[in-house]
Structure formats: C-alpha cells, structure tokens
Amino acid sequence: MRSPATRTLRTSLTDDELILFDGLFDVWDTLESLLRENYSTWHNLPYGHELDASALTHSLQALLDRGLIQSRTEHRSGRDMTWFALTERGGDLWMLERQPVWERYCVDDCWPAEAGGDAWLLSVRSPLFETARAFLNAAVRCRLYEVDMEHLTVERKPAEALIPWKTFDVVYELRVPVSSPAGGHVDWDLYENERTWWRNLNELGGRAIARR
C-alpha cells in the first residue's frame, strides 16, 4: 500500500525512496527491518514500499553513494549487522517532502529505575518545553502512563540530538517516576482530541498538531 501521507514533490526522491526515508527518519535500522514483507509491521505504518530484496539492496547502495543515508556495521550475536540512518542531506530532503513541525515533536521513553522493584522512569523530550508538558499531561489523563508528578524533574539540554541526523539547539527533558509502562485501557480518543504534538509518522500524517 502506498503512503497516505502527503508529499510536496519538492525533491527528486521516488515514492519508494521517500518511504524508506520514513522508516529511517528517527532511527538506525537494519536491512531486515526495511524488507518489503517486514516494513509495514515492523515500523507500525499502514503502508510500505514496493521494492523486492534485490531492488531494496540496490536502492540503499545508491542512496549511500549519493550521501543521503549512512551505514555502520557491528558484530552482534556472532554475526555482522549493518545499520542504516539518514544523513543530514537526506534528512533535509525528507523535511522538504514531509514538512515536520519540530517544535511539536516529542520522544517518550520508559525504562526500569535503578532502584529496582516495580519502579520505572518516564522520559519525555522535545525542542519545546510546552510540547513535552502537553504530551505528559495528556498521557496521564488518557492513562497512557501512571506517574508521580510530585517527583517531576525538568532539564534543559543544549545541542541535543533527538534523532540520528539532526541536532537541536535545545531539548527539554521531563523525567518522572511511573508505576509501570503503558498498559491497560488507554483512552486513545482523548489522546487524539488533546494531541498538539507528534511522535511518529502516523501522528505527523494526522496533522492534529495544527491545533493550538
């Protein structure tokens, strides 16, 4: 299925190349993950590219040669694994096509606290404090996370990279203890009604970020 997201057609990227860029916009990713049969499921997207394995390998090499993506190889689990990510040049092309609003971008991560037990920590990061706080407030109201707001901390970090190819002048990080990661019944209708941010391609395509 082709991407339902709009593109501006301001670059020479093919539709398949742009879809590959969608999968790479915020991560280092593997060839296996980018395979046509895995792309949609592994990236949680309702669309995918039309490149078979041979054409995908050829396209990735061509993008490497053009300096639009980068790669690194690591030895893991007894074998070499190659990872791909956008370069700044590739990211600039992706931005021309998808027009992300970076002030509304946020990243949420959750991991077990060092104290152990059932304690977890939630981190919400964004180039704009108001965006991070809006997401956190809505995440609590819609039961995406159960948090202890009395122990909320805020840190302002200069020159922080939220994604592999782009460093932001400043990033705000909100950290707060949570009783557990996301689980149970989440009111996604409430989440969407309150959403003025985006975290991924599905949310960027929804364009609810246009609300104030």
The answer to whether residue 7 is domain-embedded is no
Provide CB contacts within 8 A for 147, sequence distance 6+: 122, 136, 139, 140, 176, 177, 178, 179
The answer to whether residue 4 is domain-embedded is no
- Rounded to two decimals, what is the model's pTM? 0.89
The answer to whether residue 5 is domain-embedded is no
Indicate if 188 and 131 belong to the same structural domain.
yes
Question: Considering only CA atoms, which of 67, 179, 68 is closest in space to residue 122?
Answer: 179
Indicate if 196 and 108 belong to the same structural domain.
yes
Residue in this structure with the two tokens 């104030």, named with its chain if needed: 212
If pLDDT is split at 50, 70 and 90, which confidence band does 208 have? very low
Other Cβ atoms within 10 Å of 40 Cβ, number: 16
Q: What is the dihedral of CA 140, 144, 148, 149, to 10 degrees?
A: -30
The stretch 18-35 carries a mean pLDDT of 96
What confidence score (pLDDT) does residue 92 get? 98
Q: φ and ψ at 83, to 5 degrees? A: -115, 145
What confidence score (pLDDT) does residue 75 get? 81
The answer to whether residue 90 is domain-embedded is yes
Cα separation, 57 vs 72, whole angstroms: 15
Cα separation, 111 vs 178, whole angstroms: 9
Indicate if 89 and 159 belong to the same structural domain.
no
Look up residue 192 and give its two tokens. 């969407």
Indicate if 85 and 109 belong to the same structural domain.
no
Average model confidence (pLDDT) across the chain: 90
Give the DSSP H or E segment for 125.
strand 120-126
Q: What is the CATH number of the domain that holds 37?
A: 1.10.10.10
Share of the chain above pLDDT 90, in %: 77
Q: Give the domain range for residue 192.
A: 102-210
Q: pLDDT (tens digit, 9 = 90+) per residue, 94-113?
A: 999 999 999 999 999 988 87
Indicate if 165 and 180 belong to the same structural domain.
yes
The stretch 23-38 carries a mean pLDDT of 96
Domain final position from 98, 119, 152 = 98
Residue 209 has pLDDT above 50, yes or no: no
The answer to whether residue 125 is domain-embedded is yes
What confidence score (pLDDT) does residue 113 get? 78
Indicate if 42 and 90 belong to the same structural domain.
yes
Q: φ and ψ at 156, to 5 degrees? A: -100, 120
Domain count, the chain: 2
Q: pLDDT (tens digit, 9 = 90+) per residue, 138-190?
A: 999 999 998 989 999 999 999 999 999 999 999 999 999 987 555 568 999 99
The answer to whether residue 91 is domain-embedded is yes
